[in-house]
A and B are shown apart, each in its own frame.
Chain A
Amino acid sequence: DTGVSQNPRHKITKRGQNVTFRCDPISEHNRLYWYRQTLGQGPEFLTYFQNEAQLEKSRLLSDRFSAERPKGSFSTLEIQRTEQGDSAMYLCASSPRDRHYEQYFGPGTRLTVT
Chain B
Amino acid sequence: AQRVTQPEKLLSVFKGAPVELKCNYSYSGSPELFWYVQYSRQRLQLLLRHISRESIKGFTADLNKGETSFHLKKPFAQEEDSAMYYCALSGLGAQKLVFGQGTRLTINP
Which residues of A does B touch, CB under 8 Å?
A: 3-4, 31, 33, 35, 40-45, 48, 50, 55-56, 58, 91, 93, 95, 100-107
Among B12-20, B39-47, B68-76, the stretch in contact with A? B39-47
Which residues of B does A touch, CB under 8 Å?
A: 4, 9, 32, 34, 43-46, 49, 86, 88, 90, 95-102
**Residues of A close to B102: CB separation below 8 A:** 41-42
CA distance A107 to B44 in the complex (A): 8
A-B contact count (CB 8 A): 53
4 smallest A-B Cβ distances: which pairs?
A42-B99, A45-B96, A105-B44, A105-B43
B44 to chain A, nearest CB (A): 4
B97 to chain A, nearest CB (A): 7
Known contacts A31-B95, A42-B100; decide if A3 and B43 are in contact (CB<8 Å): yes
Residue from the set B9, B34, B99 with the largest chain A CB neighbour count within 10 Å: B99
A58 to chain B, nearest CB (A): 8
Cβ A101 vs Cβ B99 within 8 A = no
Known contacts A101-B32, A101-B49; decide if A41 and B101 are in contact (CB<8 Å): yes
CA distance A45 to B89 in the complex (A): 12
Tell me which of B4, B46, B98 contacts A103 (CB under 8 A).
Answer: B46
Known contacts A40-B9, A42-B102, A101-B34; decide if A106 and B97 are in contact (CB<8 Å): no
CA distance A43 to B80 in the complex (A): 23
**Residues of A close to B88: CB separation below 8 A:** 42
